[in-house]
Amino acid sequence: MENTICQETLNRFDRYVMHTYAPGALFVRGEGAQLWDADGVRYLDFASGISVCNLGHCHPAVTAAVCEQAGKLVHVSNLYYNEVAPKLAEKLISRGFDGTVFFCNSGAEANEGMIKLARKYGSATGRNEIITMEDSFHGRTLATLAATGRAKYRKGFEPDMPGFVQVPFNDFEAVKAAVTERTCAVMLEPVQGEGGILPADAAYLKQLRAFCDEHDILLLFDEVQCGMGRIGTMFAWQSFGVEPDVFTMAKAIANGLPMGAVVASRRLSGVLTPGTHASTFGGTPLVSAAALAVQETFDREKVLENCVCQGEYLMQRLREITAPYAFVRAVRGKGLMIGIVLDRAPQELAGLILKKKLVVLTAGENVVRLLPPLVITRAEADEALDTIAQALAEYAAGLGPEK
């Protein structure tokens, strides 16, 4: 980057920001599915800030709601009522789940809340173990790391918090075999995100539902990445027809402002009582107003319908354009949560795609991950497909005759 503003930013970052990230580009402006860097170069964004800006960057309805609320009331704490958070909770619940909502700030915090709820529920019968899945990702706090099914994230942060046991994903018998008299919950992502865009089998989820009911075990869904419309339904579980007891959301709820939510079925709404759980910033008027605008926009702009339609189109076209390449094993996913599965590490191909000004992500050991805004147009889908086709051809040419 030659731009002097960029160089100053890079210097500041290097010296003053803790090096937990290795950023790939510097963006200064966004609109819809487009981003611009400090040199004015345009990119098409098929990452959405990792499934956060689901309505695209700076959606006018969200911007207007934030500006209006910022001039009225930003924060009062949860020691007092605010008008906006209950409206948002009502709107979320009206989407088809009878229950109550706890608001917080991030995915990990939402999962912490869900884990605490499950342990509190289990404490009445002396149970506190939670079965989670291999290759899952639930966050970076100590409890959510212990729940996460990839050891590499926990390395160096031992000892692991006790109370979690991992089993293979999509394997009902493995869950049954892992259950003990101390099991209080089973926790999973309906579509594994960081693990490599792996959808659960609907039949597996149905078996789990029946088994959990039979044994008074809570079924917990982490919808932090796959929820909020990403796979074509507002809540991911609606795509599978299997209702969890508790589920979490975060990332896209407020389209870029930090918010997380724990949604528990009505029968569990009394488990966490005053004083047992809290979050200073949970459900501030400002962020709730943004999230309410997101909900209204989903209805007004038929965002779910667009997600399903563009998702089917992209998946089908991706299968066609990747077919000639032996190093592509599959294209999989649901809605606009799509993985191009390779037979090798995905970073080089993803880097090539980024060089061509299409922002994409990787996942797991071998997946190029596409998470475009749910509002993308057919023209933007086609633009991305062209870019990916070019990158695949260039990548294959660089490999020589072996491919």
Ligand X SMILES: Cc1ncc(COP(=O)(O)O)c(C=O)c1O
Instruction: Report the interface residues with ligand X, using CB under 6 A.
Output: 50, 106-108, 111, 137-139, 189, 193-194, 222, 224-225, 250
Smaller CB distance to ligand X: residue 33 or 228? 228
Smaller CB distance to ligand X: residue 119 or 138? 138
- Helix axis angle, 378-399 to 303-322, nearest 10°: 20
Measured CA to CA, the distance from residue 28 to residue 18 in angstroms comes to 21
Smaller CB distance to ligand X: residue 30 or 107? 107
Q: Which of 191, 196, 168, 188 is nearest to 329 (CA)?
A: 196
DSSP string, 295-327: HHHHHHTTHHHHHHHHHHHHHHHHHHHHTT-TT
State in angstroms the smallest separation of the CB of 64 from ligand X: 25
Q: Which of 234, 292, 192, 252 is nearest to 55 (CA)?
A: 252
Residue closest to ligand X (Cβ): 107
Measured CA to CA, the distance from residue 380 to residue 35 in angstroms comes to 13
Residue 159: is the preceding peptide bond cis (ω within 30°)? yes
Smaller CB distance to ligand X: residue 123 or 157? 157
Measured CA to CA, the distance from residue 232 to residue 217 in angstroms comes to 28
State in angstroms the smallest separation of the CB of 48 from ligand X: 12
Q: Where are the alpha helices (DSSP H) in 137-284?
A: 142-147, 172-178, 202-215, 237-240
State in angstroms the smallest separation of the CB of 275 from ligand X: 24
Smaller CB distance to ligand X: residue 254 or 328? 254
State in angstroms the smallest separation of the CB of 189 from ligand X: 5
State in angstroms the smallest separation of the CB of 308 from ligand X: 21
State in angstroms the smallest separation of the CB of 180 from ligand X: 25
Smaller CB distance to ligand X: residue 361 or 375? 361
